[in-house]
Each structure stands twice: as C-alpha cells, then as structure tokens.
Chain A
C-alpha cells in the first residue's frame, strides 16, 4: 500500500517521505498506516524504516484574523491545504531483490518522488531471511548510529515484530533485545 513519495534526503541512507494527502491518492493512508517503526519499500527495491515524523503547518503561529472560516477555506483558498504536510524520515536499511534480502547501505540513490509503500509480512520475512542463520538484523549498528535518541525504542519495536515473524528465533532475538535495552537505558541513566 502506497503511503507517499520521497521529497528530500538528509544523507544517502536517510530520506524524507511526504505522506499522501486525501486528494492525492485513491486510498490515502490513515494514521494507523504511518506508524513509527514500520518497514517501507522505497522505489523498486530499497527497504527502509520509518523512524521519525514532522508535521508541516505554515499556519502555526499565525494568530491574526482570517477572512474565511475554517469550513470556507477549502472553497476560497484550496491551495492552502497543500501547504500542510506530514513528513516521515525513513532510514534505508538495504534492498529486497528476487534472490532475497540484502541488508546494508543500499547501492542505488533513491530518486525524488520515488514511491514509498508499506511492506507486508512476507516481504519483511524475505528481507530478514538469511539462508545460513534463519534471521538477520545486520542493520542494527546503522540504526543505532543514525536514529539518534529514538534508536532504542525503534529497535525494540523492530525486534518485537521479528520475534513474532520468526518464532523459532525468538530466544536469541530476545537476548539481543534485552542487551540493547539494557545498554541504551542504563547508559542513558549513567
């Protein structure tokens, strides 16, 4: 399911996605679709993870009188709606090709306006499936270094999800989850 398009980037692995507005898509995404920690497909084959969001609203702070009431704005100044936007930051974690998932820095540069869509469980499983070790999360160091203050909760959410998708690997995922939780929480307190 499409949720938006790439509108900007902060680095090769960190792109901004603007969420589709109601009039831009037949099935515009709802609040439940654009949640923190969702896996998304960017463009044809690049896999990303939503780790941050921003709300763009030029009207914020403008407390002067308006000629139109909020209900009339859509009628008299429809462009005004376009100036409001929801942006999400997507951390690019690798690629998903026919042969399987490849975790690491993506080779391709994501084009502007590349489509961003939600990944289903099957795609998430394929991306994390490693023929040798069943499940892989090689992007953990990259998430820790790029996602800043929200890295720990982001990874907790990802690992919880993977524990559900890979029940046979739940015990070792749990050890890693606890190790990260301990490290991020205790280091923050110290």
Chain B
C-alpha cells in the first residue's frame, strides 16, 4: 500500500530534482524512496526518486519550546487546536526514474512532476521488485541486508553476483565500521549453494579464520554440496622464486644502487633465455657470477664489489625468508576451487613480502585464466576453467596512492581486463585516500560505510561515480553495519543495513579492559609466579650401600 506523503512544490536546484511539501516527519527520511505517478503510453508509471534533503520551512516559535516539560504543540493548541500540526517540511528528491523490467534499470523519462502533484512513499513490495537486480536465494544473488529506511527485512537488498565479482568491488570504511563484517557477509553469500564461488581472501590480519564455520553450517549445505574453507596460515605461504619478476626481486632487496639494478636486470635476461622456466636462487646467483666480466673485460675486478653486494643481499634476503622457495609454491587449484574459500593469512609477514605474494598470486591466476580462455592451457596448474574472485583486505597496501609497488601494475591490469577472463577483485580499505585513484575508479560496485576523514570522503567523491553526492553527505552519519551500495550490482544506489552474519565475526575489536583483568586472574598470576620462580638446585647424590642414588 503506497502512502500519500506530500504535494509537489516545484523543480529543485538541478534538473533531476524536485521538491515537495509534507507535514510528515517520520516517513520523509533521507534516503527514503518516493514516487510521483505519470501516465506513459496510457499506463500509470511511478517515477521513483530518493529523498536527499529536508528543510523545515514552517515551525512553532522557539519560545514555545522553552519548557521541556511542556510540548510546544500543547502551547500552540492554546491558540487553536489545529495549530498543533505546525511543521512543514520542504523535501528535495533526486529522480531515479521509471523502472524498466526489460533493461533491469531506471530510465529517467524527463517528465517533471506538475506542481501540486501527489507524492507517495513507495511500498515495500514495489521496492523489493525494483531496487535489487535479483530475487533472494536465486542463482547469482547475494543477499546483503535490507533497506535502511524500512524495518529490518522488509525490503531485502539482493546484489547481482555476476556483476559484483566480474566488474570488481570496493569496500570503503573507516576502522570499526564493519567493513570486514560486510566482506564476511559477501563471502557467505558467494559460498551459498546457489553461488558456490571460487574465492581467495588475502587476510593481512588473520581475521577471516572464523569462516571455517561455513563448512558445518546447515544454511550452506544442499544435496552433496558443502562449502570448503581452506585457511593457509602465514608459515605455509610459499612463493616459488621463479615466479618472481625482476621488479619483485628489486623490491625485495634493500638499498640497491643503479649498477646493482642493472646487473639484476641482466641476470634476469640470462635466466629467461634458458629453456626451463623453473629456476632457483642458485641459478640467479650463477647468472650474476657470469656477469663479473660484463663490460669490464679490462678490469674484471671492477664489477666484483657490485656482484658481491648483490650476492650478499640476495642470500640474506632469501636465506632468512621462509616464504620463497626454489620449487614449492601453492598450486592455483588449491587456492581457487569452486565452492571453496581460501584464506591466505599474511599476518606476521613483512609488508613488501605481502605485496610480492599478492602480486605473484594475482599474476599467476590472471595468466592461468587467460591461457585457459584462449586455449593455451588445457590441463595442469595453469588450467583454471572457472572464474575466480580475490578479496584483498588492506588494499591500500597493495595499490597505494602516489607510489607504485610491485602489486600495483598487476592489480591495475586485472581491474582493467580481468572481466574478460573471469578474474574479479574486491578491494577492502579503511583509507580510500591512500588507495590508488585509478584502481578505486575501476571497481564498479562500491560498498561505502562510515567515513569521517575529509580526505577519504573527497577521494570517494572523486573516484566513485555511482554514489550520488547526496548519499556521500551521509557518510559521517552512518553507524556500524550501515552501508551505501552503489554501482552495477544494484539498480540504483541504496542505503542498506547489512544482515547478521551466519558465521562468527573474527574481526572484533579487542576488549582491552577484560584482557587486562584476565592478567590478574588466578591462572595467569600462578603461571607468571611459576615462570619467575628460582630453579631449585638438584639434590646432591647420596650413597647407599655403595650405590649412588
């Protein structure tokens, strides 16, 4: 049932806005969907729009509010009972348009409402039909939550997984506003029996381990299907050295001179000319050694210090790292399998190494998908005959603004071309201002949560085209779990309350006071006392009947 809420006053400031007057303070919420009907081809069509601004244009005198015990309306009633409903609101609406079921989108018919036209609040049933591109529990759907301006569950927001994962997504939120929680909900939806996605989560904080519960949760089981969750802890992450690029090696080695850079480049060229694609650190060192006389035939010793410096750096770097290995690495099918979410825990790994791990995995999977799609790979490790999706936590580490790190180029490549080969990326960051603007603008679905930092807000306004400025004004006012979803996975930008997770959330803020109290608990106190106690000296040997005891 559509509720009549107000009357059109006239056009708004811009061509796609109009204003209406209402006395209703509760239904005219920011973000609420309203419509005015027009007749198109003999049919009544609702032209949907979203409330973006409200102004109080008539109100009771301030002096009537002097006594908090007395309602100003009661005072106004002295002057006439009908004066109680004194407030008039002028509400601005941004027109979304008429929903076209064939195009599954909104078309603006450019028919402005007549002044005096009636404005209705759109019904839950209508919004359920037009806001979400998919029906709940349908193949290719992801139930994120419900429309924030309505009661929980009344208008479900269901995303289109096809667009979501193939044209990339970004979750932008300040710390503690629920970005990992939202990502968790998305992963749950991707692992539902009607999606069964191949998902890799790059988890620099180790907070996605709780997704394990997916495997045994009844909501994810159907027939013989049960999702698998594979958590790869940091000590099991292996990168094959031959999958590193020249840039990776250069990034890993500290304080490199120009000459050293040149030698590494030449050594790489020599390695590439070999038949085998598999090489190890010893091969690289050997290639370096072969360059001792390069360009210094008269004085072979002149290159020696540079080569030695490089050798020292390479040996030091690769000898003390457990990540890089001559042969072992995690096979792609182990990382990406339909119906499996792989959590790559990178906590306790140095940031440069994290970038190299991400770059290597991204390069390998992108190459594998290209080879599979083009028929170059028909089996083996490079054969990945299904689309894949990578979710990157702390994405600003892997594609920072104003700096190019080893993972930036491959991420840019995937964001630009990954759609064609079925490689999707989800970027999660709490500092959109520190994320490369090109990378951010390539994410076609945005989940924007509470952000207070003005630089981050500005970045979002510049990079995220889909979300209206009006919704971005809401950013500081959003609370935990409230998200603005815009882009290709929804029909129009919406304010959404993220649904409750089925599995436990692993990224909770640490309860410091409780842990401090635990420190003084009996078990911890006893353990400390035991650890600090002096060691008892061993008893002296005694002799009994000639035997030593």
Q: Number of B residues contacting the other chain (C-beta, 8 Å)?
A: 14
B521 contacts partner chain A, Cβ-Cβ < 8 Å: no
List residues of chain B with CB within 8 A of the CB of A179: 61, 63-64, 66, 75
Binding site for B on A (CB under 8 A): 130, 132-133, 135-138, 140-141, 169, 171-176, 178-179, 182-183
B269 contacts partner chain A, Cβ-Cβ < 8 Å: no
B81 contacts partner chain A, Cβ-Cβ < 8 Å: yes
In the complex the two chains form, what is the Cα distance from A136 to B84 in whole Å?
13
List residues of chain A with CB within 8 A of the CB of B64: 175-176, 179
User: What are 7 A-B contacts with C-beta separation under 8 Å?
Assistant: A133-B78, A138-B79, A138-B80, A171-B69, A172-B77, A174-B67, A175-B64
B315 contacts partner chain A, Cβ-Cβ < 8 Å: no
Q: Is the CB of B70 within 8 A of A136?
A: no
Q: Is the CB of A135 within 8 A of B63?
A: no
List residues of chain B with CB within 8 A of the CB of A183: 61, 63
Q: Is the CB of A176 within 8 A of B75?
A: yes
Number of A-B contacts defined by CB within 8 Å: 51
10 A-B pairs with the lowest CB-CB distances in the bound complex, closest first: A179-B63, A133-B77, A138-B80, A172-B74, A175-B75, A172-B75, A172-B70, A132-B81, A175-B67, A133-B81
- Residue among B61, B64, B67, B80 with max Cβ neighbours from chain A (10 Å): B80
Q: Is the CB of B67 within 8 A of A135?
A: no
Interface string of B41-62 (1 = CB under 8 A from A): 0000000000000000000010
Interface string of B106-126 (1 = CB under 8 A from A): 000000000000000000000
In the complex the two chains form, what is the Cα distance from A166 to B249 in whole Å?
90
Q: Is the CB of A178 within 8 A of B78?
A: no
In the complex the two chains form, what is the Cα distance from A33 to B64 in whole Å?
34
Closest to A183 in B: B63
Query: Nearest Cβ distance between residue A184 and chain B, in whole angstroms?
Result: 11
Q: Is the CB of B81 within 8 A of A137?
A: no
In the complex the two chains form, what is the Cα distance from A141 to B477 in whole Å?
41
Closest to A131 in B: B81
Query: Nearest Cβ distance between residue B82 and chain A, in whole angstroms?
Result: 10
- Residue among B64, B69, B78 with max Cβ neighbours from chain A (10 Å): B78
In the complex the two chains form, what is the Cα distance from A141 to B79 in whole Å?
8
Query: Nearest Cβ distance between residue B59 and chain A, in whole angstroms?
Result: 14
List residues of chain B with CB within 8 A of the CB of A137: 78-79
Query: Nearest Cβ distance between residue B341 and chain A, in whole angstroms?
Result: 62
Given A172-B74, A179-B63, 5 additional A-B pairs, CB 8 A: A135-B78, A136-B79, A171-B69, A175-B67, A175-B75
Closest to B71 in A: A172
In the complex the two chains form, what is the Cα distance from A174 to B75 in whole Å?
9
List residues of chain A with CB within 8 A of the CB of B69: 171
Q: Is the CB of B81 within 8 A of A136?
A: yes
Which B451-469 residues have a C-beta within 8 angstroms of A? none
Q: Is the CB of B78 within 8 A of A136?
A: yes
